[in-house]
Amino acid sequence: MQKLKTWKETLDFMYQRLPMYQRIGAAAYKKDLTNTILLCEACGNPHLQLKCIHIAGTNGKGTTTHIIASGLQSHGFSVGVYTSPHYIDFRERIKINGVYISKKYIRDFINAHLHEIDKIQPSFFELTVALAFRYFADMKVDFAVIETGLGGRLDSTNVITPLISVITNISYDHQSMLGNTLPLIAAEKAGIIKEAIPVVIGESQDEVSDVFYKKAEELHAPIQYADQHLSLNQKAGFKGELVYDVYNDGKLWLKDLKTDLIGPFQSKNIITGLYALKALSTHIPLDFDKVVEGFTEIHKKTGYMGRWQILDKGPLILADSAHNVGGMDLITKELKMIKDGKLHIILGFVNDKDISDILAMMPKNAQYYFAKANIPRGLDAALLQRQSETYGLKGQSYISVRKAFAAARRHAALEDTIFIGGSIFVVGEVLEKY
């Protein structure tokens, strides 16, 4: 095979030659770890050289990943972070202390393994996982915080044996691949639990707790629920910052935790991330005064983006990539609490998801701008408009996110709010302008 010479050739190779879930959907999902194992073997089994923390869950796993990374970075550690998908730049998926992997490293890695790639025929995600592991090993990171892509049991990241496993919560998402009940989805997420490795569950949910307890008992894995130990008391809130006291088993543990994580769902993620760090402290000496200091600039330090992100303040422009019932429930409750001015919502989804429950909960007093994300899986905007009208959502459809965003900005007064959401791809197209 001919060597790749430019970054464009490298991206084209990954996006066009390799099956990519974000673009083609379920056809790219491999219910098997064989390809990942073969790829890792071909590049020296780098995952065996890493100290990992593994994160799964329906909502909040990306945020929890960055919280844990921030806590470790605050101690001066070199911390690799693997997340997916990306908003703007493919390299967002693989970073060390917030700095993206280099284009040259990616090109050189693929060129060095063209023969194996041709033989194994991996998916986009399988190749990306092997690339991340090799990069983190080559850069000799102290720790690697690894977010699952889809599910857990059969996710390509599940070849690692972590220091701890973390499962944030369970909600309905990707039912066609993970199961159509919460216990079935939980069983897939519980697949990251390993023999004798501690597991932290973020949220107590009666419907799925037995799934986690049984799996943990079977594998002799100590299990703890973060929300049964930690609680937050919000003391103050400023523009772009919140302040909490953190209680552990009813006693004040961390005072005046200032954070730039301001979304309506972030308290749950903060509890999960902090408790995961507490569990990690049995392996690694951690100073939680340093953890608290690091909480003030999680976005800047780790490259975190896309969650209740304030893009502008006149009018207020918010972007959030929640895209399932559990995540959107929290978002819509927050949007309905906005009293000042008019609410403008730019909305778009992928075409292989049942969005009826999401549309039913969206605010009906908003002006909607329906848009199709610039990917093959994007849901047609006119079709989305018609479906939304049956739920009392009024607005216009636009041929692109760019045009929908421009229209919302034209129509919004200074005291209004513009929200962009529904899909990470819709949010990504707007973030690209910032």
What is the SS3 string spanning 363-423? CCCCEEEEECCCCCCECCHHHHHHHHHCCCCEEEEECCHHHHHHHHHHHCCCCCEEEEECC
Nearest to 268 by CA among 329, 202, 334: 202
pLDDT at 28 over 80: no
Residue 97 CA to residue 194 CA, distance in Å, equals 27
**Contact of 367 with 342, CB cutoff 8 Å:** yes
Q: Which comes out higher in pLDDT, residue 432 or 179?
A: 432
Nearest to 184 by CA among 194, 198, 174: 174
pLDDT in tens, 162-200: 999 999 999 876 555 566 789 899 999 999 999 999 999
Residue 328 CA to residue 322 CA, distance in Å, equals 6
The pLDDT of residue 313 is 86
Token duo for residue 89: 């730049």
pLDDT at 425 over 50: yes
124-125-128 Cα angle (round to 5): 90
Which whole number is the average pLDDT over 228-237? 90
Residue 286: Cβ within 10 Å count = 18
Domains, the chain, ranges and CATH?
7-302 (3.40.1190.10), 309-431 (3.90.190.20)
Whole-prediction pTM: 0.92
Residue 221 CA to residue 196 CA, distance in Å, equals 4
pLDDT in tens, 361-398: 999 999 999 999 888 889 999 999 999 999 999 999 99
* Straight-line distance from the first to the last Cα atom of the chain, in angstroms, rounded to the nearest whole number: 38
